[in-house]
A and B are shown apart, each in its own frame.
Chain A
Amino acid sequence: MTNHWIDLGNSDCILIMGSNAAENHPISFKWVNKAIEQGATLISVDPRFTRSSSKAHIYAPIRSGTDIAFLGGMIKYILDNDLYFREYVAEYTNAAFILTGKYSFEDGLFSGYNSKTKSYDRSYWAFEKDEKGIPKKDSSLKDPRCVFLQLKKHYSRYDLDKVSAITGTPKDALVKVYKAYAATGKPNKVGTIMYAMGWTQHTVGTQNIRTMAMIQLLLGNIGMAGGGVNALRGESNVQGSTDHCLLWHIWPGYLQTPKASKATLAAYNESATPKTNDPMSANWWSNYPKYSVSFLKSMFGNKADEKNGFGYQWLPKVDDGEDYSWLSLFDEMYKGKFEGFFAWGQNPACSGANANKNRKAMAKLKWLGNVNMFENETGSFWKGPEMNPKEIKTEVFFLPCAVSAEKEGSITNSGRWMQWRYGAANPPGKAKPDGEIIVELFDKIRKLYKKDKGKFPEPVVNLKWDYATKGKFDPHKVAKEINGYFLKDITVGDTTYKKGTLVPSFAFLKDDGSTSSGNWLYCNSYTEKGNMAARRNLKDSSGIGLYAEWSWCWPVNRRIIYNRASVDSKGKPWNPDKPVIRWEGSKWVGDVPDGGWPPLANPDGTPNPKSKYPFIMKPEGHAHIFGPGRPDGPFPEHYEPLECPVEKNLMSSQFINPTVQLFGTEMDKFFTCDPRYPFVGTTYRVTEHWQTGLATRWQPWLLEAQPQQFCEMSEELAGLRGIKNGDKVLVESARGKVTAIAIVTKRFKPFTVMGQTVHEVGLPWCYGWVHPKDGGDSSNLLTPSVGDPNTRIPETKAFMVNVRKA
């Protein structure tokens, strides 16, 4: 979230699309309701009429996988009716930038496409630059090559007839949504978006979100109270686990995992640090080397020094151009690449797309370590459906761990609030907190390497590993390391910071090895003033519910990011009723500003050369309406899902996202427009279960409320297949089948798509064969192992199935 949960209450118009907050993030509705009480409009766009829809002023049904068409139509509506926030768009985004003649778009493809590699040469999407190397701008937005007019041209194709024919959304519903949301283009009106996996789990997932981010920029809604782009995260600490980068492509704090071509730390830092020639651009990532070196100092402590590149060589490098993400990981496992595998607090036998492939892949392992609280479909895969334990040679170690309330530490919510929690009790029996398991396991591995040497022991024996107190994992020690220390006395201005004290904020970090910080984004979270995440002060002088002294929020306790875009050039809030920050002659008041520089203009309106553009994380300081960094195109374009019910893409002759990469094992089967699989399928959750149900299926209270797998379908589809409410049905895709109880409902209605009737069905993915015995298995047995080209998140929200009576 750029904003946070309480801030939803500040909004004038809330769009819930790609999520079902009322059921999956129920308490968010406390704040949605507050906004409604104050006159806000609530819009729900969903293939199914959900409980979120039931609270909405406007509901629009949409065929799964067509969100870009829907939102592209909104962009056209905003531009055609001049409803965009002109000053914001011209000054704070790259709408005024001029594209070179190499950029073009034709019949679904952008310039620079290579059909052999299914990838783009992004140098085709560059900006014209002046003699100083600064992008040329036309603030009048009249240059035909400027981003704004190229945007207008691109989305002129998304007219109501076409959009309605693709999405199955009636035209009057489209116009209602567009009109209500576009009304937030006024400077003092603010709209927000609540999205979740309904947007990410598509082969165009990133571009779904980008389309909305572009709308938010056109309407001037980013940086504002009640605005922003808000991902509703599904796990209590998926924000924190992402920030700390349990992901192949990034190091903690969103630093890049080094590639093989970057042989030295200097080459790595050089390539990762963006450059700008514009003195008005803060280009915050120019600080990159300070963060990477401080991270290495946290990793290797005293062992990391200038001579050994601070241990850069001790960390693994990935091959350039290769992908190591979830889907590739299971593809390689299926092909037998791995001997060992840790499934730590995760259940891929049910949570991963094409779960049959994952289950079979695990049978190729020599050993599996499974850390969890309950028996689950991953740890016990060898005795699951269609498995013969005798033939499965995988050794499995199940390690029982503590639950949240049995240990101390912090988690970070969707709104980036890092909140400390305390241990209330001891884990039962011999179960242990994960932290203890990690420390004890690595102690043992390290002992072996010290004793027997082995391959490349340096990183193993040199890792800084002093996080235990009296032999037990100590979260405070780690939290302090994540924040970072001064490693020698450092004087800044009049103040000397002593060696061994905690760094007050990331502005103090250095690239010479004199500071450490395990994650620069969390620098300022645990300082000499104490553990900021543990704060419980309810004082709130902001008037907009920032609660600046409750817990702590990254970065540097800034509660609404990009907040320097919430004010005009003189530092006056666009929305004076709900100011996030404002300039008071010599300083900013309100939220922690995105940098302390003065406003762009002096009181007399002349430019202030000491200022910086508001979007400080972008090299040019302007938000990206044109996004040249995405591998699948600078403007979002509608493509059909890999499996879809239509024979053509109405927008172009590119049927699916042209940069999608497919896997080639016999388990990776896909059928589109195949009469055997005539219905669109999608997945979701229910309030009473969480993710694969691993942590809810074992609770009698919750299981009683939602006891088994079901398949929701329209009355029309049920009639067509002779299915009655409560019947047992078989749902099949190219990859697997699931037995479910039919729920015949008015919540699904058939769509009219390109003149044809299209049915859609939905299943929760919260069940598994281990428990309860008659509860049914995971709906991910049906979903395809194909990913978005940016993130490789699988397309589990739109695929094709058949449904029949079991």
Chain B
Amino acid sequence: MKVTRRNFIKISGVTATGLFFSQLGFDLSPVSAYAQALRIKGAKETTTICPYCGVGCGIICHSSRGKVINTEGDPDHPINQGALCAKGAALYQWVVNENRVTTPLYRAPGSSKWKSVSWDWALDEIAKRVKTSRDKGFVKTNAKGQVVNRTDSIAHIGSAALDNEECWTLQAMMRALGLVYIEHQARI
């Protein structure tokens, strides 16, 4: 019998004893599915789309107490129908990863190390630098005397990893600041 995750959860209640014995029959796959099912029991289920390539596979995230505890292919998604590649299957480790940076960092001129800083300080300091650089490098008219109203002293790249709504908001901010050097992954 082919036991998928979803129908397994439904039948596991009545077949738990049988499963114990099926181990003796050396078929461990239902047992490992059962163990997986226990792992996500009672977890919140939300859907997401894989953040890697552009296929757009569906993934289910299981979370508990504000933490992701499992990710797996979404069987209802019409493109991937539950399947994932090596990267998509490793989404869990992108989310739950001790190497992630968890606080803003600052590196001073000439320094050889990072220093942890607060968000307020970091964003205040960046805002001041944006204003100073913009005011200094703002070009009202070009060499031909045409009005251009642009900021030639700041450039921006990124990002195809952002959500649509973030991309739109980011371009609005950068364009309002007068930047013309705005680029991202689509160019490379």
Contacts and interface: CB of A to CB of B under 8 A. Distances in A.
Interface in A680-732: 687-691, 695-696, 698-702, 705
Interface stretch (B15-23, B30-38, B170-178): B170-178
A233 interface: yes
A479 interface: yes
Contacts of A440: 119, 123
Contacts of B52: 235-236, 690, 695
Interface string B108-145: 11111010000100111111111111111110101110
Interface string B47-65: 1111111111111011100
A260 B137 contact: no
Interface string A1-25: 0000110000000000000000011
Contacts of B172: 299, 463, 465, 518
Contacts of A332: 155, 181
Contact of A233 (B53, B125, B166, B176): B53
A409 B166 contact: yes
Contacts of A428: 100, 102
Contacts of A438: 166, 169-170, 173
A429 interface: yes
Given A246-B171, A326-B187, A695-B94, A340 B130 contact: yes
Contacts of B97: 374, 698-699
Interface stretch (A102-110, A274-282, A383-391, A588-596): A383-391
A27 B57 contact: yes
Given A425-B68, A463-B172, A340 B79 contact: no
A238 B109 contact: no
Interface of chain B, main secondary structure: mixed
Contacts of B133: 339-340, 366-367
A411 B167 CA distance: 10
Contact of A373 (B100, B112, B122): B100
Given A345-B158, A456-B149, A27 B84 contact: yes
Contact of B159 (A261, A344, A433, A447): A344
Contacts of B127: 441, 444-445, 447-448
B151 A435 contact: no
A395 interface: yes
Interface string B149-166: 111111111111111111
Central interface residue in A24, A232, A431, A441, by most chain B CB within 10 Å: A441
A485 to B, nearest CB: 15
22 contacts: A30-B81, A235-B161, A241-B167, A257-B180, A299-B172, A315-B149, A317-B149, A339-B129, A400-B105, A404-B163, A409-B163, A413-B49, A413-B54, A413-B79, A424-B44, A424-B62, A429-B100, A441-B123, A456-B178, A478-B166, A482-B168, A699-B97
Nearest 3 pairs of A and B residues by beta carbon: A429-B102, A413-B56, A345-B159
Given A30-B80, A425-B61, A478-B169, 11 more contacts: A238-B160, A337-B152, A341-B157, A346-B160, A373-B100, A396-B106, A444-B126, A454-B135, A473-B169, A475-B163, A479-B165
